[in-house]
A and B are shown apart, each in its own frame.
Chain A
Amino acid sequence: MKIAVCIKQVVTRDWPLRVAESATWVRDDDASFEMNEPDAYALEEALRLKELLGGEVVVCSAGPARVSQVIREALARGADRAIHVEGEALAAAEADAVAAALAGAMEGESFDLVLTGLQSDDQGFGQTGVVLAERLGLPHATIIMEVDVADDGGSLRVKRELESGWFQWVSMPLPALLTIQSGINQLRYATLRGIMAAKRKEILTVPAQSAETAGQRILELYVPEKSSATRFIDGSAPEAARELVRLLREEARVL
């Protein structure tokens, strides 16, 4: 089975992000970056399917030169090779533009299965996978928590997460695209051997083709206005804790 995993590089979760001077994006030139979390689960799922069924796992990432960091990491975890669609503008691009860039580079590969994370931690559109499926002409299913490939390798049965604890099995023919939900599996980490092996793996870098995409323009990015009536309790930890316990007993009466 030839599996593609689309991976996005995002700013590290704990990075103290600030709005850039342009007020339309964040200041990330000095930030540290990591693999988008749901994409890490998608990669793990691809590696497990390969272990089960054989084949190849190809990492596809669209972004500026710096995304080679997450590509290397994915190769170190066990992916076989990578396609890097390179373009500066892809760093802050909308889902449609990213999907178009990926589709252009993936079209000729005839993947049996394409996996993406269900959404990214930065822009959080939750669209790249679904739009990519549409662009590649593949059937898709989203927010997937389990993947079963039929014995004949011609179809899939997947478990979709619905709201409030509901699930649903959906079958579809291969090739297909799935967007993977965090928690579908337990992640593995790269071993030293994997990191060494990754150095010899192929990364094909292709320039992003300009594509016609729908377009959404960020006019302004800002810290949300605080509307809450939270009562912040100051002081040292012991002082704040004592005051909290007093308030919970005497004011809120919940203890």
Chain B
Amino acid sequence: MILVVAEQRGGALNPATWETVAAAQQTGESITVALVGADVQKLAAELAAAEVAEVLAVEHDALEPYTPDGFVAALAQVMEKACPELVLFPHTYQTRDYAPALAARLGRVFIPDCIASKVRDGQRVFVRPMFQGKFMADVLPQGPAPHFASFQIGACRADACARGAAPAPVREAAVEIDAAAIRQRPEAPFKEAKQAVDLTQAERIVAVGRGIKGQEHLPVAQDLAKALDAELAASRPICDSGWLPMDRQIGSSGQTVAPKLYLAVGISGAIQHLVGMKGARTIVAVNKDADAPIFEVADYGIVGDLFEVVPAIMAALEGEA
């Protein structure tokens, strides 16, 4: 049996949950979904629509809001009773926060951030990126079951999740939690004060990455943005270095945009960046590395030095104006 750990916050399921259920369905094994929180019956019923054997509602007052201590304690008990062969998670910030501790407590292996699982020489292996996406690895989990793995957001399509002919049974899984033993005291999530620039409305975006080398070279990208009547945006390291304000960052921890044109210069195309821009209608990438992952999503690519290519684009725009 495969146990899928669903994720919810504030009365809504994280849509990545459906992707992970879809990934589990591809194995053809029997699936149980566990949902953890204080009052999850409604969401458990929602999950029961998927083609799965059972949904476990793991409820306790001490499990809302989320804490790593609470979730490790609860899910360790669930694992002991359910005895799954495999436990799958969506690779969210929350999974990153507690699943490694859960695996360590149970002495189990946890293969994170997978994009697929497949059978190789009769064994189930997991495919995950390494070295910032430059390589993929087929990884074989070792040691006793259950093995843990998490699936990268977007690795499976949520709409690939098959629905059952009838709702799956929802069962309560009782857990004992000592609220006093939970060491983290979380406050309510918040967003930083309203952002000065709203890139989600931009029709055209020029995004600059670490290939720009130094703050003193930023005008290269700024001028291109101006010439294209585009907003200037950036990958995270540019904002981390303080070269551009945080509200110009695109990606999982920045803004998600879908402009008509997204022109990425000197951006490698890490998954955390791609999730924020792959919905753009036309993507152009300028990168000196022909193997850069950004070319996996680009419609047009120029392999070359941005310090030559960008001025040439400016000249071409002027020449035809």
A residues whose Cβ falls under 8 Å from a Cβ of B: 11, 13, 17, 19, 26, 37, 94-96, 99, 118, 121-127, 130-131, 133-135, 139-143, 160-173, 176, 182-183, 186, 212, 214-224, 226-233, 237-238, 240-242, 244-249, 252, 254-255
Contacts and interface: CB of A to CB of B under 8 A. Distances in A.
29 contacts: A123-B131, A124-B112, A124-B113, A124-B129, A124-B130, A126-B112, A130-B98, A139-B68, A140-B68, A143-B96, A160-B93, A164-B256, A165-B253, A171-B185, A182-B237, A217-B140, A218-B140, A219-B140, A220-B138, A221-B137, A223-B134, A230-B300, A232-B295, A232-B303, A237-B305, A242-B319, A248-B282, A248-B300, A254-B260
Contact of B192 (A165, A227, A248): A165
B104 A172 contact: no
B296 A242 contact: no
A228 B139 contact: no
A220 B137 contact: yes
B207 to A, nearest CB: 15
Contact of A244 (B107, B256, B300): B300
A244 B284 contact: yes
Contacts of B281: 252, 254
Given A99-B104, A161-B253, A218-B137, A183 B184 contact: no
Given A143-B96, A163-B92, A238-B316, A247 B300 contact: yes
B297 A228 contact: yes
Contacts of A122: 130-131
A169 B186 contact: yes
B29 interface: no
Interface stretch (B36-44, B81-89, B168-176, B307-315): B307-315
A220 B135 CA distance: 10
B38 to A, nearest CB: 17
Contacts of B120: 219
Q: Chain B binding site: helix, strand, loop or mixed by DSSP?
A: mixed
B101 A133 contact: yes
Contacts of A245: 313, 316-317, 320
B125 interface: yes
Given A26-B135, A222-B136, A230-B298, 17 more contacts: A96-B104, A121-B131, A124-B132, A126-B113, A130-B100, A131-B101, A163-B93, A163-B252, A165-B255, A166-B189, A166-B190, A220-B138, A223-B135, A224-B136, A230-B301, A233-B301, A252-B299
Interface of B: 68-69, 72, 92-93, 96-98, 100-101, 103-105, 107-113, 120, 125, 129-143, 183-192, 195, 204, 228, 236-237, 239-242, 246, 252-256, 260-261, 281-282, 284-285, 290-291, 293, 295-305, 308-309, 311-313, 315-317, 319-320
B112 A127 contact: yes
Nearest to A139: B183
Given A216-B109, A222-B136, A240-B309, A170 B186 contact: yes
A248 B131 contact: no
Contacts of A134: 72, 100-101, 104-105
Contacts of B195: 165
A162 to B, nearest CB: 6
